[in-house]
Amino acid sequence: MPYFDAASSAPLHPVARQALLAALDEGWADPARLYREGRRARLLLDAAREAAAEAVGCRPDELTFTPSGTRALHDGIAGALAGRRRAGRHLVVSAVEHSAVLHAAAAHRAGGGTVAEVPVDGAGRVAPGAYAAALRDAPGPTALACLQSANHEVGTRQPVAEAAQECRAADVPLLVDAAQSLAWGAVAGDWSLLTASAHKWGGPPGVGLLAVRKGVRFAAHGPADERESGRAPGFENIPAVVAAAASLRAVREEAAAEAERLRELVDRIRTRVPRLIPDVEVVGDPERRLPHLVTFSCLYVDGETLLHELDRAGFSVSSGSSCTSSTLTPSHVLRAMGVLSEGNVRVSLPLGTREEDVERFLALLPDLVSRVRGQLGAPRPEEAAAAGSGVAGPAGPAGGGEEAELVVDSLGKLCPIPVIELAKVIGEVPVGGLVTVLADDEAARLDIPAWCAMRGHEYVGERPAERGTAYRVRRRA
């Protein structure tokens, strides 16, 4: 049963399992104690720290083990902000950071700080110079900037080294969230803080990394604790830490070969999915990307239903569609990129993924997508293509009589229905005519403009309606 969601959590690496078992016997005691069991635990902890620091590219005394990547981010951001509080209270993050960063930013804002989000392009990538610009345009002195090494949803690698240089020039520390990329190599560039999460590389859950370069101001927040340089309170989870460090070293040994192999498998998906399935958009940077991750969105598809169909067929993948989120909003990453969110599928291949499983995925997917589209009554590709010589429908209430306008009431209907209904009627107005879609589903805000771009129509804009929002589209093709 192929598991294609390594970016959420990777299965435990055999080396992690072996190291964990050994360390459970040797490393359960308190490393602060002076007796033999304590000294043994301390030795294991020190060795794990050295190994992990080497993989990160920092000094062992710069590296702290935290209980998770999320805690590393929360505590790292809070500590860096507190350490630089006298310098300023402004925080700069990219718009596509992990939600843990955005939640930390929201907490900072709630506490009276200010936050700026650096935008990304349609591939999800921060532009060179964007951090320099954000620091220049900041409302006050910037305490900290954050940038992921690579995006967790679309795989796009960020220009970390450039951003670090821009931050350095402005004397602002840069925190790099390396959760998705650390397995593939150390993060280059002159970063100040770095975080990661062991279960993303096949280590056990319960271990995050927080590196804070010497000289970076850092003030741990919250109650004092002597453990982990005062940066991560609580009894050390030595067995898991040992397993995390051992597996990081192990995956690094495989990294070059696996990166090449998985990149080729991902290229097959990137190339063939749009050929095999009509109306699919592959998103994310095609070159500057993680080797194992690809994301695409399928027009007229309900993401949750597609995930269920894939699960029934034995494939575990993830989605940024609104219907798969507890808040019923599309992923903030897809929103920031301004790309289609409906029928979104993220494939992230774990180490050792077999070629035949990828081939089977490619063989199955077209039928599954087609079945989901059929259930939703989506326009068939030939229909969509044929619709082109339609005449103006009845003028809707918003029409001033000047131009033909059709109103589609999709209120109360969830993604992808508003887009399907739009696609079905666009042929009914003449080229140059307007269609207004009334919708209250959040995904429409992203997917109607994305559909227009894919179909060559003009997205006129949105305005508040009596209920929901009115999205206006001008037929151009």
- Strands of 280-283's sheet, edge to edge? 280-283, 293-298, 344-348
# residues contacting a second copy (CB under 8 A): 64
Residue 29 or 398 having the CB closest to a second copy = 29
**Binding residue for a second copy, selected from 19, 20, 183, 336, defined by CB under 8 A:** 20
Residue 298 is which amino acid?
Answer: C
Q: What is the Cα–Cα distance from 283 to 53, expressed in whole angstroms?
A: 34
Residue 258 is which amino acid?
Answer: E
Shortest distance, CB of residue 238 to a second copy, whole angstroms?
7
In the chain, what's the furthest Cα-to-Cα distance? Answer: 88
Q: Does 316 bind a second copy (CB under 8 A)?
A: yes
Residue 10 or 465 having the CB closest to a second copy = 10
Closest CA to 277 of 365, 346, 357: 365
**Binding residue for a second copy, selected from 153, 166, 177, 236, defined by CB under 8 A:** 236
Q: Which residue has the tokens 């995956």?
A: 251
Residue 100 or 369 having the CB closest to a second copy = 100
Q: Does 246 bind a second copy (CB under 8 A)?
A: no
**Binding residue for a second copy, selected from 35, 112, 397, 466, defined by CB under 8 A:** 35
Judge whether 62 and 94 are in contact, CB under 8 Å. Answer: no
The separation between CA 98 and the C-alpha centre of its own chain, rounded to angstroms, equals 6
Q: Of the ranges 137-145, 225-233, 245-253, 425-433, which one interacts with a second copy (CB under 8 A)?
A: 225-233
**Binding residue for a second copy, selected from 130, 154, 164, 238, defined by CB under 8 A:** 238
Strand partners, 405: 434
Q: Does 12 bind a second copy (CB under 8 A)?
A: yes
Q: What is the Cα–Cα distance from 88 to 182, expressed in whole angstroms?
A: 30
Shortest distance, CB of residue 38 to a second copy, whole angstroms?
7
Strand partners, 118: 94
Q: Does 14 bind a second copy (CB under 8 A)?
A: no
Q: Does 321 bind a second copy (CB under 8 A)?
A: no
Closest CA to 334 of 138, 64, 95, 104: 95
Q: Does 318 bind a second copy (CB under 8 A)?
A: yes
Q: Does 224 bind a second copy (CB under 8 A)?
A: yes
Shortest distance, CB of residue 10 to a second copy, whole angstroms?
8
Shortest distance, CB of residue 75 to a second copy, whole angstroms?
9
Near a second copy in 163-222, by CB under 8 A: 197, 199, 204-206, 208, 222
Return the SS3 of 23. Answer: helix
Q: Does 92 bind a second copy (CB under 8 A)?
A: no
Residue 76 or 189 having the CB closest to a second copy = 76
What are the start-end ranges of the H helices in 277-377? Answer: 303-312, 332-337, 355-376
The HSE-up count of residue 379 (CA atoms within 13 Å, CB side) is 19
Q: Does 311 bind a second copy (CB under 8 A)?
A: yes
Shortest distance, CB of residue 389 to a second copy, whole angstroms?
42
Judge whether 293 and 181 are in contact, CB under 8 Å. Answer: no
* Given 146, 167, 298, 323, the catalytic residue: 323
Q: Of the ranges 24-32, 47-55, 86-94, 388-396, which one interacts with a second copy (CB under 8 A)?
A: 24-32
Shortest distance, CB of residue 56 to a second copy, whole angstroms?
19
Locate 311 and state its tokens.
């699960």
Locate 121 and state its tokens.
């392009």
Shortest distance, CB of residue 453 to a second copy, whole angstroms?
29
Locate 264 and state its tokens.
């080729």
Locate 120 and state its tokens.
């990304």
Strand partners, 196: 209
Q: Of the ranges 99-107, 117-125, 276-284, 363-371, which one interacts with a second copy (CB under 8 A)?
A: 99-107
Q: Which residues contact 263 (CB under 8 A, 6 or more apart)?
A: 291, 292
Shortest distance, CB of residue 71 to a second copy, whole angstroms?
5
Q: What is the Cα–Cα distance from 434 to 426, expressed in whole angstroms?
A: 8
Judge whether 406 and 429 are in contact, CB under 8 Å. Answer: yes
Residue 199 or 472 having the CB closest to a second copy = 199
Shortest distance, CB of residue 244 to a second copy, whole angstroms?
11
Near a second copy in 102-131, by CB under 8 A: 103-104, 106-107
Residue 4 or 300 having the CB closest to a second copy = 4
By DSSP bridging, strand 90-94 and strand 142-148 are parallel
Residue 78 or 415 having the CB closest to a second copy = 78
DSSP 461-476: EEEE-SSSEEEEEE--
3-state percent helix, strand, coil for the chain, nearest multiple of 5 = 40, 15, 40
Residue 323 is a catalytic residue = yes
- Residues known to be catalytic: 323
Where along the sequence are the contacts to a second copy (CB under 8 A)?
1, 3, 5, 8-12, 17, 20-21, 24-25, 28-30, 33-38, 67-71, 74, 78, 100, 103-104, 106-107, 197, 199, 204-206, 208, 222-226, 233-240, 304, 307-308, 310-311, 315-318, 324, 326
